[in-house]
Amino acid sequence: MLIDTHTHISDLAAVDKIILSGASIQTDGNINGLQRVFEIAQSDARIFCTLGLHPDEYGNWFDYEPMLGNPKVVGVGEIGLDYHYFGIETRAGQIELFRRQLDIARRVKMPVAIHSRDADEDSLESLHDLPAAGVMHCFTGGWDFARRMLDRGFYISASGIITFKNADEIRETFARVPTGMILCETDSPFCAPVPFRGQDARPSMVCEVVRVLAQIKNVPALEMEKILWNNAHRLFSKLNNLS
């Protein structure tokens, strides 16, 4: 049973469930706006979604909180901080947007899907009193950051990046993350795994992420599939509603 826990493309080929990530107010090609993501999630029992505003939406706002009670909306995200792509000069605006959305997650008691790039300390500080847990999506940090997030009850999600030749440090980190705290994703259309580099990623490519995780953890691929499936359903409890 394959699940892609973070994709921006609705494609059920070769997977059993997907979680579409709402991250942008605007609709641009294959990247769906929050309302569009919400609508797609209603169209098929195998499609779920998270709703949130990506760090690049700092200065913008859309009130998605009323949509979070829908049974197909499993979490708040993706939200977070990104100083790598958007610069440290945007720090104040990003933090304001991030914390506003964390307040929503607190109120509705839903898990969060966190995006963090070159913002470890600010991410940790912002999350310090979050009662609900969540997932560090498309994780590319080191073991110290992963350990500190695990201590807070967060899951760590592997994307296609874990298959890259130059991803030894990321693979070493996942070797240390408890198997029961790992999720898998594609972040489609980004970060296509080996052997699909150069292509747009699709949810079906999550099998390559599972394959590498199985190698790292020295378990059969089918067993890893089951573990990752169960982990996702444990964190995002609404996934069990329409199984």
Does the pLDDT of residue 138 top 70, yes or no? yes
Mean pLDDT of the chain: 94
Supply the range of the domain harboring residue 152.
Answer: 3-240
Burial class (CB in 10 A: 0-12, 13-18, 19+), 37: buried
Does the pLDDT of residue 42 top 50, yes or no? yes
| Tokens representing residue 2 in the block | 């394959």
Residue 127's identity, in one-letter code, is L
Does the pLDDT of residue 156 top 50, yes or no? yes
Is residue 85 within 8 Å of 61, Cβ to Cβ? no
Does the pLDDT of residue 105 top 70, yes or no? yes
For position 29, what pLDDT does the model report? Answer: 53
Count of domains in the chain?
Answer: 1
Helix-, strand-, coil-residue percentages of the chain, each rounded to 5: 45, 20, 40
Q: What is the 3-state secondary structure (H, E, C) of 52-63?
A: CCCHHHCCCCCC
For position 5, what pLDDT does the model report? Answer: 98
Burial class (CB in 10 A: 0-12, 13-18, 19+), 208: buried
Comparing 40-54, 124-138, 190-204, 226-240, which segment has the lowest mean pLDDT?
Answer: 124-138
Comparing 70-79, 87-96, 234-243, which segment has the lowest mean pLDDT?
Answer: 234-243
Q: Return the CATH number at 86.
A: 3.20.20.140
